[in-house]
Amino acid sequence: MSERSTIYAGGLGAYLKDRRSKLDPAALGFPSARRRTPGLRREEVAQRANISPTWYTWLEQGRGGAPSADVLDRIASALALTEVEREHLFLLALGRPPDARFHKSDSVTPRLQRVLDALDPVPALIRTAIWDVLAWNRAATVTQIDYGKLPPGQRNILRFLFLDPRARSSQYDWDSVARFALGSFRADTIRAGASAVVEPLLQELRQFSPEFEKMWREATPRGVHGDAIKHVRHPLLGQLAFELSVFAVDGRTDLSMVVYNPATSQDLTKLKAALENGTLA
């Protein structure tokens, strides 16, 4: 075993032991009486993961070489790991994160909603890897679109950009914005392993948007540039400029927070006054 593998194996064993000690045997269908230490026994984790108890014991002891990704996935499930914990498990065992796997999300925690609300009058929202919008603050509602008035299945940024006339009228260069968005969207879906999941949305856009098919074929995966300025034309406030930033959501690898920070003090003053005075209510 290489020096690097030995380091990872030692860390892996300690991590596995720690995580199984946190589990409640009774909650998982095992007897809780007559246990010398808290948590599950090694053979119980092996049973839940459908692997050999000897093999699992070796993993905790740093023996037997690196496990396969499939075995790690089964152990992660047996230990009821979160996505962040599962990623840490792969990093310890294999020195790399797991392959992306998309999880559909329908909501965010109240804590995340409070974070969005605290950002007012700066528009902000939380989206999934396929750009479904799950949560937003008041500033986002009044400067972009009121997602609350749309059915949950229709709250998608790409759908709004290509199918809603308001998206075109608010952009000074809709064509460039749409092409840039498709590049970022393609990168997000590939990174999240959601290429198959997003196909129904793509089919809908191909059917109802004449420009989409050509732009999608030409789209190159790209990230969001931190220095990009987004210029919009608001029907009441006139021209506004925002610095677009995208942040990972702590503990939720499937979500991103998008913040539209006003590019100038004048833009911020306009938004703050409009929200305080109810101009955009």
Same domain flag for 118 and 206: yes
Question: What's the mean pLDDT in 252-276?
Answer: 89
Quick one: 191 and 225 in the same domain? yes
Domain count, the chain: 2
User: Mean pLDDT over residues 206-230, rounded?
Assistant: 79
Looking at residue 279, its pLDDT comes to 56
Kindly write down the DSSP assignment for every residue of 1-55, as one continuous string: --HHHHHHHHHHHHHHHHHHHTS-TGGGTS--SS-SSSS--HHHHHHHHTS-HHH
Residues 125, 72 share a domain: no
Average pLDDT, the chain: 86
Are 75 and 179 found together in one domain? Answer: no
Q: What pLDDT does 78 receive?
A: 94
Give yes or no: residues 54 and 193 share one domain.
Answer: no
Q: Give residue 227's pLDDT.
A: 55
Cis peptide before 25 (omega within 30 of 0): no
Beta strand segments in 77-195, E: 124-128, 133-136
Residue 261's domain is classified under what CATH number?
3.30.450.180
Statement: residue 228 has pLDDT above 50: yes
3-state secondary structure of 134: strand
What's the CA gap between 1 and 213, in Å, rounded? 51
Q: Are 258 and 139 in contact (CB under 8 A)?
A: no
The reply to whether 81 and 141 lie within a common domain is: no
Task: Give the pLDDT band (50/70/90) at residue 281.
Answer: very low
Which of 5, 68, 70, 72 is CA-nearest to residue 45?
72
Residue 250 — φ and ψ, nearest 5°? -55, 125
Q: What is the DSSP letter of 121?
A: T
| Residue 10 confidence (pLDDT) above 90 | no
Amino acid at 241: A
Q: Is the pLDDT of residue 33 over 60?
A: yes
Question: pLDDT at residue 127 above 90?
Answer: yes
The token pair that represents 15 in the structure block: 């991590």
Say how many C-beta atoms besides its own lie within 10 A of residue 114's C-beta.
10
> Does residue 207 sit within a domain?
yes
**Largest Cα–Cα separation, the chain:** 72
Same domain, 28 and 163: no
Same domain for 163 and 71? no
User: C-alpha dihedral over 79, 82, 86, 91, to 10 degrees?
Assistant: -130
Mean local confidence (pLDDT), 211-226: 76
Q: Which range of residues forms the domain containing residue 37?
A: 3-94
pLDDT-derived band at 278 (thresholds 50, 70, 90) equals low
7 falls in which pLDDT band (50, 70, 90)? very low
Which pairs from 194-199 meet CB under 8 Å and 24+ separation? 194/100, 194/102, 194/129, 194/130, 197/102, 197/104, 197/130, 198/130
Instruction: Identify the residue whose tokens are 């996505």.
Output: 83
Instruction: Among 26, 61, 94, give the residue marking a domain's end.
Output: 94
The crossing angle, in degrees rounded to 10, of helices 3-21 and 42-49 is: 100
For residues 240 and 114, state if they share a domain: yes
The C-alpha atoms of residue 47 and residue 30 are separated, in whole angstroms, by 11
Q: Are 232 and 239 in contact (CB under 8 A)?
A: yes
Q: Is residue 60 over pLDDT 80? A: yes
Domain check: are 133 and 260 in the same one?
A: yes
Residues 6 or more apart whose CB falls under 8 angstroms from that of 255 comprise 105, 108, 126, 127, 128, 134, 248, 249
Give the model confidence (pLDDT) of 128-169 as tens digits: 989 999 999 999 988 888 899 999 889 999 999 999 999 999
Phi–psi pair at 19, nearest 5 degrees:
-70, -40
Same domain, 75 and 151: no
Q: Do 82 and 200 belong together in one domain?
A: no
CA distances (Å), 21 to each of 18, 40, 201, in order?
A: 5, 6, 43
